[in-house]
Amino acid sequence: MEFTRSEAKKWAKNKVNGFYLCPTTPMTNEMTFDEAGIRENIDAYVDMGVDGLVVGGFIAECWNVKLSEWLRYHEIVADAVKGRMDLWTIILDPSVHQALEKMEHVEKLGYNGAEVINPVVQLRTDTEVFDWFKYLTDHSDLAICLYRTPVSGKVLGWDLMQRLAELDTVIGAKQGVMNRAETLKIRSLMPDDFITSDPFEYFFLDDLRNGGQVVWGELSYILYGKKRHLAREYYNLAREGRWEEAYEKSQGLAEVREFYHDLFIWEIAKSATYAGALGNIKAWYEAIGLKAGPILPPVPTATAETKAKIKARLQEIGVA
């Protein structure tokens, strides 16, 4: 890795900037990982200027695969990236021992960190959750980004997050509660070396002006297709302090953002899961020339009619 345990927080403040994205995973018609498609997409992400990949979680369908497949997936990604982007995994396991087995594997492959959900079964009190993360961080040198989300069954509270922020390798949190006010509150309570990020590009420009540095764990930057350059341009303008120009660039994404929210964000908000929205995202991928394929059962793949409607709308708004 690029840092020692004592350097993790400082490393992350300097390194984890821009667009850290959770891509979906191409599958074959035989319902296996499309290795060639994964590699082709990763080359495309590099060309897009993606700053980091956060892989192996819900959007990647890796909650729905065997352990051997999960491990192989991370090997494919690491080999395809070849050091061209910062790499993180996502850990969704309630067993800290299974989590550590996965983290040991990806550390050897060159991953720098893991986004980690708190255990989704059994452990609910603040003390139990803290002890789980303490054991995890004591036994792994990977940088840890907390995944604060109702999907876990327990949303991390302020006091617990402040305790977790003191652990050497905990560098920040993905604020997945879909509440902007809570993001700002957490940032005001946490130490300066703790990164608090929203998984919504919609807020990113405002976030840059209010102490943020990364949009973490979503994929809109990829989906923006022919309008993607506007996101990079407003980001660069913001970093130069040219805020009026940055907001003007950002406004050019308003129409595509609205469509993205209708197809993905609001579907997640209704169910508190990603599964029902993945079909739309894979249809979007194919419409902009990326590899996608079907969804692993029992989650349904988008119909041909749905795919056609999504592609037509994307062409209409200048994305595809």
- Compute how many other C-beta atoms are within 10 angstroms of the C-beta atom of residue 112: 23
Q: What is the pLDDT of residue 178?
A: 82
CA 63/CA 99 separation, integer angstroms: 13
DSSP state for residue 94 in the 8-state scheme? S
Among residues 266, 236, 309, the alpha carbon closest in space to that of 17 is found at 236
Residue 274 has pLDDT above 90, yes or no: no
Model confidence at 240, pLDDT cuts 50, 70, 90, reads very high
Model confidence at 150, pLDDT cuts 50, 70, 90, reads confident
Q: Listing from the earlier edge strand, what are the strands of the sheet with 170-175?
A: 195-197, 170-175, 143-148, 113-117, 86-91, 52-55, 18-21, 214-218
* Predicted confidence (pLDDT) per residue in 163-218, tens digit: 999 999 999 999 988 888 999 999 999 999 999 999 999 999 999 999 999 999 99
Residue 17 has pLDDT above 80, yes or no: yes
Residues 295-318: what's their mean pLDDT?
94
Residues 106-115: what's their mean pLDDT?
98
Among residues 110, 114, 117, the alpha carbon closest in space to that of 84 is found at 110
* Predicted confidence (pLDDT) per residue in 24-64, tens digit: 999 999 999 999 999 999 999 999 999 999 999 999 999 99
Half-sphere exposure of 62 (CA within 13 A, CB side): 24
Q: What are phi and psi of 252, to 5 degrees?
A: -65, -10
Q: What is the pLDDT of residue 272?
A: 66
* Alpha-helical runs (H) found in 148-253: 158-164, 180-189, 204-209, 220-223, 228-239, 243-251
* Count of positions (residues) in the chain: 320
Residue 276 has pLDDT above 80, yes or no: no
Among residues 286, 93, 309, 200, the alpha carbon closest in space to that of 295 is found at 286
Higher per-residue confidence, 2 vs 222: 222
Residue 277 region, left (φ>0) first, then alpha (ψ -120 to 50), else beta?
Answer: alpha
Q: What is the pLDDT of residue 269?
A: 66
Among residues 283, 237, 236, the alpha carbon closest in space to that of 260 is found at 283
Tell me the percentage of the chain whose pLDDT exceeds 70. Answer: 98
Domain regions of the chain by residue span: 5-243
52-55 and 143-148 as β-strands: parallel, antiparallel, unpaired?
unpaired
Q: Cα 46 vs. chain centroid, distance in angstroms?
A: 16
- Look at the domain 5-243 and name its fold: TIM Barrel (3.20.20)
* Predicted confidence (pLDDT) per residue in 71-96, tens digit: 999 999 999 999 999 999 999 999 99
Residue 267 has pLDDT above 90, yes or no: no
The H or E element that residue 256 is part of is: helix 254-260
The H or E element that residue 106 is part of is: helix 96-109
Say which amino acid occupies 138.
D
Residues 139-154: what's their mean pLDDT?
94
Q: What is the pLDDT of residue 275?
A: 75
CA 196/CA 198 separation, integer angstroms: 7
Six-digit token string for 58? 């819900």
Mean pLDDT of the chain: 94
pTM: 0.94
